[in-house]
A and B are shown apart, each in its own frame.
Chain A
Amino acid sequence: MTQDVLGASRCPRCRRVVAPPALMCPDHPVVMEPHLVPAVGEVVSFTTLYSPPEGFRSPLHIAIVELDGGARLFCHGEETRGVKIGSRVSVEDVNSIFYFSHMGFAARARLFWRRTGYRGEKVAAIGKSFVKGFWKGTSREDR
């Protein structure tokens, strides 16, 4: 079950959003205000750790996900096969630990169907996301 939003906090001065919620903005000595961000985003980077520290089992999959609301999160995942930098993933919060899961085309279509307004917009969003995913998959080495 994908949760719709995750708790975060926002700096009242620079509007920067961080997750999980923090007391102070990293860039300003200002107390942050509570904020919510959608629980979907793009993979910024990921790794598989083969000699994890005590308390974790190898292989340990870790990813940094940039949520659509702007905040970046550390997440665990069951699997990094098929994951690429830029992949759309959904993020779930289970007992305050975040997990990402790769969103296939069907999951993405469902997501946009739920999220965007009019029927035409929904179809356009699904199409756009599909094209974007396809483009990212084929042009990996461009800078």
Chain B
Amino acid sequence: MYVEGCQGARNEVWRSKLPQGRRHDNVDTGPASGLIGGVTDVWIAGAGMTRFGKREESLPALMAEASGLALSDAGIERPGSIVVAAMNPEEFTGEGNYGSLIATHLGLSHVPTIRVETATSSGMAAVYAGYALIASGLQDSVLVVGGEKMTHLPTPRVSEIIGRSIDAHERSYGSTMPALAGLITRAAMQRRGLTLKEISLVAVKNHANAARNPFAHFQEPVTLETVMESRLVADPLRLYHCCPMSDGAAAVVLRAEPAPVRIAGIGQGMESIAIRYRSDLTSFRATQVAAEAAYRMAGFGSERVDVAELHDAFTPFELLSLEDTGLVPPGKSGRAILDGDTAIGGRLPVNPSGGLKARGHPLAATGVSQIVELVWQLRGLAEGRQVDARIGLAQSIGGLATNNWVALLERRR
């Protein structure tokens, strides 16, 4: 329980130390969104996920597998409430009313359930909804489960469904997610000096990490040559710079009662759905705003983060996100990957799970699975890829950085 007095007051101290309005001061963001913190602290009592990859099971079965693992980890049978994240099960699987469907499938048909959707960051949005339910005092235990099932459909169809999260005008030019990422990558290479080698090394690192993670989609390391010589998808992006399509689910149980890991801060940032409306293509304002909000809520800064799970749907995004979350100074992310700082055993391990690139990216499962990985890392349960960490950061990108989230987890002392 929260005992130090008004969280708002604690926040005021830190607010004065944060750089105000940096890099996006040309846009009126209005007053800081929402109050800072809630009535009680929010703890993660249980975490579980399925193996990601091509899976034969249905989406409800995958979600049930992850939920069962998280609930038994937390030692509870019936949560007070359920939050389900699924980006587009209507089109991927043909089924709707997904909150009720999952609650019934779990044998919890009388537990209040909602579904949350913010495109590819839906999982983290569901964690936020669960956080809000506990922090506000409305519930004292919430099951958050995210999942997606997509590999049973042909690839062009899957691309088209994912592509609907792009602005209609831009989509009418044949823009897909890789196309927009290609535009951003080209601009970042020119304006921020990222090199092909640096963005390729991210793939090498994340594949190497995934080879040590039994839950990952890809279990084999790749060489730099394989990445740099793979076929062009959206110039300058190549196949190995892009995340795969995966099935899978992940779940966490949030509680008001203290557990080993606490959600210290969580923040959301928004940006126009049209990338032609953005003045800067090479950094994501939505991540910067989300990170600022999360640090403000947590009451500490990026210097205390020991491990990070970043949204590397395209490998250059890991480098851009490192800078947007303030984990490395602007312009230094290329150096960080070249020097091995972000590898397991480096100064700041990034994506020890393999990230979206190699653990896989079952859309709405991804945000929750980042939290699951951090919980395992902070509790010392990440066998084979364990890092020494007390504070972890997770960042999730919705759409093409239109609805982003940053969460900070802290291990209890």
State which of B163, B173, B184, B233 has its C-beta within 8 Å of the C-beta of A50: B233
How many Å from the CB of B244 to the closest CB on chain A? 14
The digit string for B174-197, where 1 denotes a CB below 8 A from any CB of A, is: 111011001110110011110000
In the complex, whether B272 has a CB less than 8 A from a CB of chain A is: yes
In the complex, whether A82 has a CB less than 8 A from a CB of chain B is: no
In the complex, whether A35 has a CB less than 8 A from a CB of chain B is: no
How many Å from the CB of B273 to the closest CB on chain A? 9
How many Å from the CB of B272 to the closest CB on chain A? 5
A72–B277 CB distance below 8 A: yes
How many Å from the CB of A89 to the closest CB on chain B? 15
How many Å from the CB of A54 to the closest CB on chain B? 6
How many Å from the CB of A65 to the closest CB on chain B? 9
A143–B331 CB distance below 8 A: yes
In the complex, whether B4 has a CB less than 8 A from a CB of chain A is: no
State which of B183, B187, B190 has its C-beta within 8 Å of the C-beta of A62: B183
B178–A45 CB distance below 8 A: no
Q: CB-CB < 8 A to A104: which residues of B? A: none
Q: Please, how many angstroms separate the alpha-carbon atoms of A60 and B28 in the complex?
A: 36
Q: Please, how many angstroms separate the alpha-carbon atoms of A60 and B234 in the complex?
A: 9
A49–B176 CB distance below 8 A: yes
A49–B179 CB distance below 8 A: yes
In the complex, whether B231 has a CB less than 8 A from a CB of chain A is: yes
- The A/B interface has a contact count, at CB < 8 Å, of 98
| Nearest A residue (CB) for B193 | A143
In the complex, whether B160 has a CB less than 8 A from a CB of chain A is: yes
Q: Please, how many angstroms separate the alpha-carbon atoms of A28 and B179 in the complex?
A: 28
In the complex, whether A20 has a CB less than 8 A from a CB of chain B is: yes
B193–A141 CB distance below 8 A: yes
State which of A28, A52, A64 has its C-beta within 8 Å of the C-beta of B275: A64
In the complex, whether B3 has a CB less than 8 A from a CB of chain A is: no
Say which size band chain B's interface belongs to: 35 or more
On whether A62 and B173 interact (CB within 8 A), knowing A44-B187, A53-B163, A143-B192, the answer reads yes
How many Å from the CB of A41 to the closest CB on chain B? 12
In the complex, whether B413 has a CB less than 8 A from a CB of chain A is: no
Q: Please, how many angstroms separate the alpha-carbon atoms of A60 and B178 in the complex?
A: 12
Q: Please, how many angstroms separate the alpha-carbon atoms of A20 and B163 in the complex?
A: 20
List CB contacts (< 8 Å) of A1-39 with chain B.
14, 18, 20, 26-28
A52–B174 CB distance below 8 A: yes
In the complex, whether A47 has a CB less than 8 A from a CB of chain B is: yes
The digit string for B283-315, where 1 denotes a CB below 8 A from any CB of A, is: 000000000000000000000000000000000
B190–A85 CB distance below 8 A: yes
How many Å from the CB of A33 to the closest CB on chain B? 17
In the complex, whether A56 has a CB less than 8 A from a CB of chain B is: yes
In the complex, whether B274 has a CB less than 8 A from a CB of chain A is: yes
In the complex, whether A91 has a CB less than 8 A from a CB of chain B is: no
Q: Please, how many angstroms separate the alpha-carbon atoms of A64 and B160 in the complex?
A: 21
Give 10 nearest A-B pairs by CB, closest first: A47-B182, A56-B174, A45-B187, A72-B276, A48-B235, A45-B183, A85-B190, A26-B277, A26-B272, A74-B173
10 contacts between A and B (CB under 8 A): A27-B28, A45-B184, A47-B183, A50-B234, A53-B163, A54-B156, A54-B160, A85-B191, A97-B173, A141-B193
Q: Using A44-B187, A143-B191 as known contacts, list a sample of 8 further A-B pairs with CB atoms less than 8 Å apart, ordered by residue number in A.
A: A14-B28, A18-B276, A26-B274, A52-B176, A60-B174, A62-B175, A64-B183, A72-B276
